[in-house]
Structure 1
Amino acid sequence: MKKYDLLRSGDNIIRVLDIQRERVFVIDCINRKMPVWMESELLESYVGCTDGELFEASGVDIIRDTDALDADQRKVMHERYTMIAPIVSFIADDKMRSKLICSIAEESKVSKQTIRNYLCLYLSYMDITVLAPKKHRDEKELTQDEKHMRWALNKFFYTTKKQSLMTAYTMMLKEKYCDAMGVLGEEYPSFYQFRYFYRKTRKMQNFYISRDGLKNYQRNNRPLVGEGVQEFAPAVGVGMLDATVCDIYLINEEGNLVGRPILTACIDAYSSLCCGYSLSWEGGVYSLRGLMLNIIADKGEWCKRFGISVRKEDWDCDMLPGTFVTDMGSEYKSENFEQIAELGVTVVNLPSYRPELKGLVEKFFDLIQETYKKHLKGKGVIEPDYQERGAHDYRKDACLTMMDFEKIILHCMIYYNSRRIIENFPYTEAMIEDQVKPYASCIWEWSKSQIGANLINVGSRELMLTLLPRTVGKFGRTGLKVNKLRYHCEGYTEQYLTGGTVTVAYNPEDVTSVWVIENGIYTEFALIESRFKGKDLVEIQELQSDQRAITKNEMRNNLQAQIDLAQHIEAIAGSACKASGHMDVHMKNIRNTRKKEQSRCHQDYMKEGSYYG
């Protein structure tokens, strides 16, 4: 028998920790209690034992290679050994051992029993790796009841029907714990067990998506961990576009209710300046054209139309941003709007349900509406309860016209651009050095002169021609045919004769002219059919359609008339042939015969005129 030997007698396995004459200091390796002194003669029935037998008897699996442990396991293992290391040297001294256990427990802020457990565990196996925490088993075999619970949650709770937890529990009992007659069995899990399993296995992402849908999750619950605007707007020149229906009802000049106007705006992502806007009754591509024209317009001259005076430095924007950031709206994905890329503008379509990526324009609408709504209560402004039953009919309060409301919107925008303090703007050292004021207009003015500003100077005519819808025109002898109308321009004789197709821009609101696009150059063609000048394309298409309908309605009468004509001709020809008896035609003296017939058939039309009169 030697120190640290393992001895076994039946199911008992002990380890020798110290030997003194007739006494032996041992620890029970199976029950792992504190070591005790035993008389040597009591160990006569014990025989030698190996570490493998100890592992098998205790059911402990030790990873002897510390390299196989992860960083956290090695950290905890050494921390635990550090706690018990001072005690191991005095393990046979009861008083000193107890004193050390108390002091270490107090210092390490753990219980004394925890120290004893670590000590007995180490002494039983004499291997530091036994102190390493076991890895958490992610995949645990589910019981049959847990499998039923998981099935019920997936089938009845994690669905768009949004059933309650109690309903899912009841359906589980009905489907899995009732006999063929629908009688509940003797043994079944309680609702508290069902709820505990749900809480233990619940994943919030799965909860939101399964019950509310992916779209709602992306819009309202998805973690917002990106930098948002700062990721793609390091300088001015990134315009964010969006539109909203204003929370106010308007009337026309006669006092009749019209409805709620549509506000379309472009906000610079860097400075949050409103580059331009469009307020109209129509949305889509129509409002985008108005917005583009407003962006490049002189804002001082624009405000004068409404009797408003504004300083140039408060709204000094008359160039297009080099990049437009839009959502997946149909008007932004249309070919008409994407044609603006011909001016050098880059169009970025954001993925669906990512409003935080264009949060500045969303916030702009909130701020503008919050600014005017508190002053226009009772004048057509909509309150949050407008869709609830019994709510006030805010349409009856309408008293502002579009002109009145646009003046209000302009004043709100001027305040937004030049007087609203931007508290959390990420100031650079250069901005602080130049004492840039925290207003959108000031940040815009300062940033325009910095490296990286991306603004494009473009004329209004060039911009509008670029945004016009396009189609294919066909050259022919009758001119250039576009939308079933004919156009002409000097210098295209060769094209008329040779034919061919060409890309044409047209104005659907006035068909008087179209523009042929060749190598980026717009050549104007004038309408040949003057009766259509000044009319819009829809009106002309309706006229052409009505004409075709009239013609189609007369097709039967035309066919009948042709049949009648053929019958008359055949009848006359038949009677003439019958009267002549198919005589031979005399071919001589044709000239004399013709003179005789002229003399016989000659009439004095003066006399005939008095006769007809």
Structure 2
Amino acid sequence: MYLEINGSIYRLLIEQEQGGWLIPYETPGAPVFLTRAGWGKRVAVPAEPDGPRTKAEQKRLDMIRPLTEERACITDKILRRRMAVRIAQEHHTTSRRVLRLYYIFLAHGTIQLKRKALKPKREEQKKIFAAAIERYYLSAKRPSLRDAYDCLLLEQYTDEEGKLLPEYPSWHSFRQYYYRSGMHKKSHKIIAREGLSDYQRNHRLLGGSAPLWKDHLGSYQMDATQADIYLVSSFDRSLVIGRPNIYLAVDTVSELIAGIYVGLEAGENAVMACLANAAADKVEICSKYGIHMTQEQWPSSGLPAEIITDKGREFESARVGELCVRYGMERESLPPFRPDRKSLVEKTFDLLQSRYKSLLRGKGVIEPDAQERWSTDYRSQAVLTLEEYTELLLRIILYLNNRPLKNYPASTEMLQQQVPMTPAGIWRWMQENGRSDLLEVEKEEIYCLALPRKEARVTRRGVEWDGFVYINPELRNLLEQLRGQKVTVAFDAQNTAKAYLLYECGYLPLALAQSCSCYTGMAASEAQLYRKHAQETIHMLDKQDVQARIELLRSTKELIRQAENGGMKRRQSGSEISANRETERRKRT
């Protein structure tokens, strides 16, 4: 039975002589006792929703069944609460939720609540949301989702004065649509906000394998980076010379590091030096740094048949092009901003530097917080010289070239022959089976071709440029003919001890003159630092010299003044001067 009391509808649960227990119908709460005098008029039973219960509704009804079957729970508050707590513990919910469902059941006779009718404009609203997200959120300006929601309200749900309309979609519904529609997972979102290049680098599906790109030795991936470490000068460890540049050449099919350049140079000179290193005998190179190894540990030599690079200026220079034409090398330039296209060399940089960073922490290695205000001045921590750092990298390369490749896509033939799955092992197997496109070159020829060029002038002292002087007694007559003229020289930036004069398509050797012998064994950049340091010392001595000359002038004038005031002056003859000289001599003996 339902009663209307003060405009509200109540359901009569238990009728007694004095009154009865009632519960609000529209806002169900705890049952209350009301005497008959307070009862209002009787009303018709409100319509309840029809149709079968959902699984969730049946589950809720089963949960509160112990309460519905115990009639005493209507009148006994303590019993009702105790049972609700026990049910909540059994079903891992709260007693408050259990009681709320129980009160709904008492008021309506069911928990199958009347479902809200779908808004007729829901589909239209979805279209509006989708258009707003497409227009405001999926943008290269990368606004937040909340910014896109605000733009939607400003555009669609404000009047002419900018005031919000009475009805507008909530932030919750807008955000819910974004995630439920899966727009946060779509590649279109990444491309629109981050760009196609970022999607291709970091988010596209990976279905290939880098080593399977090529099937023969001789396709080198090349790239450069600046090392994350500061170095000091080899002739004066108090001088920091900055961060070195690293150029690498990594074979595609074997993942072997075939060539490296470590130095202060950058550009085409460094690229040529890296290729020269790749073509050279590694046993000889390592022996210069006191590293003893065998040919099997680093078997690469010769020029590659192909170099794979980005569109960097140094890789597309005229000298690199000249080298490619001379030896028939191919050059493949990859699109810009796509390091994933040459992933082997990119990852090799990480492998190289990760091997020493933990050991050299606090010794010049740059940490990720280098740009923060509180970061350490890593330049002041530098301890390694360029030679020591180069030796360290060579030792790491020997390790990397002989490490096991756990995920290498080995062929059936390689597995049958039990080929060692190391870069060096794969290289040797490929070479033994004729799968090599390497180009053999003369050692001295490739060395000279890789040297950087410089314009110099021939003077009486020899061939001069940048403060260096080179001579060759055997070329005396030629240098006499070229005196006063500009010539081209090739020099090793890592060792200033020798250079080459380019004359009639040949390389004529030159050696440092005795006047520049102090630079022997130095790199060109270190020699410049040495010269700068010497000039600063001379400049400091110049100041001291000026002060000393002024002091000498002052004391001399004072001495002259005192001498002039020491006695009377008169003209004396030669005989008097001789007598005076003899008298002075006797007094001093």
TM-score, with structure 1 as normaliser: 0.52
Amino acid in structure 1 at the alignment position of 2:190? Y
In 2, Cα distance between the equivalents of 1:345 and 1:218? 29
**2:168 — aligned with what?**
188
Q: 1:156 aligns with which of 115, 127, 136?
A: 136
Ranges in structure 2 where 5+ consecutive residues have no aligned partner? 1-120, 454-486, 493-498, 510-589
- Provide the rounded CA distance (Å) in 2 between the counterparts of 1:385 and 1:525: 50
C-alpha displacement of 1:148: 4.0
Describe the superposition over 1:537-593 as per-residue Cα deviations: whole angstroms up to 9, x where unpaired: xxxxxxxxxxxxxxxxxxxxxxxxxxxxxxxxxxxxxxxxxxxxxxxxxxxxxxxxx
In the alignment, does 2:154 pair up with 1:171? no
Q: What is the one-letter code of the residue matched to 1:256?
A: L
Show the counterpart of 2:197: 215
1:588-599 matches, cutoff 5 A: none
Query: Where do residues 372-391 of structure 1 align in structure 2 (5 Å cutoff)?
Result: 372-391=356-375
> How do residues 437-452 of structure 1 correspond to structure 2 at under 5 angstroms?
437-452=420-435
The match for 1:410 is 394
1:149-180 deviation digits (Å, cap 9, x = unpaired): 34432342122332222221122212222111
User: Which of 237, 246, 257 is the equivalent residue of 2:218?
Assistant: 237
Contact 1:267/1:360 (8 A) holds in 2? yes
Do the aligned residues in 2 keep the contact of 1:325 with 1:349 (CA within 8 Å)?
Answer: yes
Aligned-residue identity in percent: 34
Pair 1:436-2:416 in alignment: no
Question: Partner of 1:198 in structure 2?
Answer: 178
Matched, 1:227 2:209: yes
SS at match of 1:276: strand
Residues 1:344 and 2:328 aligned together? yes
CA change 1:448–1:143 in 2 (3 A) is same
User: What is the CA-CA distance between 1:358 and the residue it aligns to?
Assistant: 1.7
Listed as ranges, the matches of 1:79-118 within 5 Å are: none
Residue 307 of structure 2 aligns to a residue in which SS? strand
SS at 2:371 equivalent: coil
2:409 and 2:451 map into 1 onto residues whose CA distance is: 39
**Any idea what SS the aligned residue of 1:313 has?**
coil
C-alpha distance in 2 between matches for 1:157 and 1:368: 40
Shift of 1:401: 0.7
Given residue 413 of structure 1, which amino acid in structure 2 is its aligned partner? I
Which whole-Å CA distance do the structure 2 matches of 1:229 and 1:338 have between them?
A: 26
Q: Which residue of 1 aligns with 2:441?
A: 458
Counterpart of 2:346 in structure 1 is: 362
Aligned to 1:277: 260
Task: State the number of aligned residues.
Answer: 346
Match of 1:377, SS state, is coil
Task: Name the residue aligned to 1:427.
Answer: 410
C-alpha deviation, 1:421, in angstroms: 1.3
* Greater displacement, 423-432 / 260-269: 423-432
Q: Structure 1's 248 and 207: CA in aligned 2 closer, same or farther, altered over 3 A?
A: same
- Please tell me the residue identity of whatever aligns with 1:216: D
Counterpart of 1:247 (choices 216, 228, 231) is: 228
Contact 2:249–2:345, Cα closer than 8 Å, also in 1: yes
Pair 1:323-2:306 in alignment: yes
Q: Greater CA deviation, 216-225 or 300-309?
A: 216-225
1:436 match: secondary structure:
coil
| Structure 1 equivalent of residue 478 of structure 2 | none
TM-score by length of 2: 0.54
Shift of 1:464: 5.9
Bigger radius of gyration among the two? 1
> Unaligned stretches of 5+ in structure 1?
1-140, 471-504, 517-521, 527-613
Structure 2 CA distance for partners of 1:384 and 1:469, relative to 1, 3 Å = closer
- Alpha-carbon offset, residue 229 of structure 1: 3.3
Correspondences of 1:56-135 after superposition (within 5 Å): none
Residues 482-493 of structure 1 aligned to structure 2 (within 5 Å): none
Query: How far apart are the structure 1 equivalents of 2:426 and 2:490?
Result: 40
Cα pair 2:216 2:437 within 8 Å, conserved: yes
1 or 2 for the larger relative contact order (CA 8 Å, sep ≥6)? 2
Q: CA deviation at 1:469?
A: 9.1
Distance 1:453 1:525 in 2: 34
TM-aligned CA deviation for residue 320 of structure 1 = 1.3
RMSD after superposition:
3.0
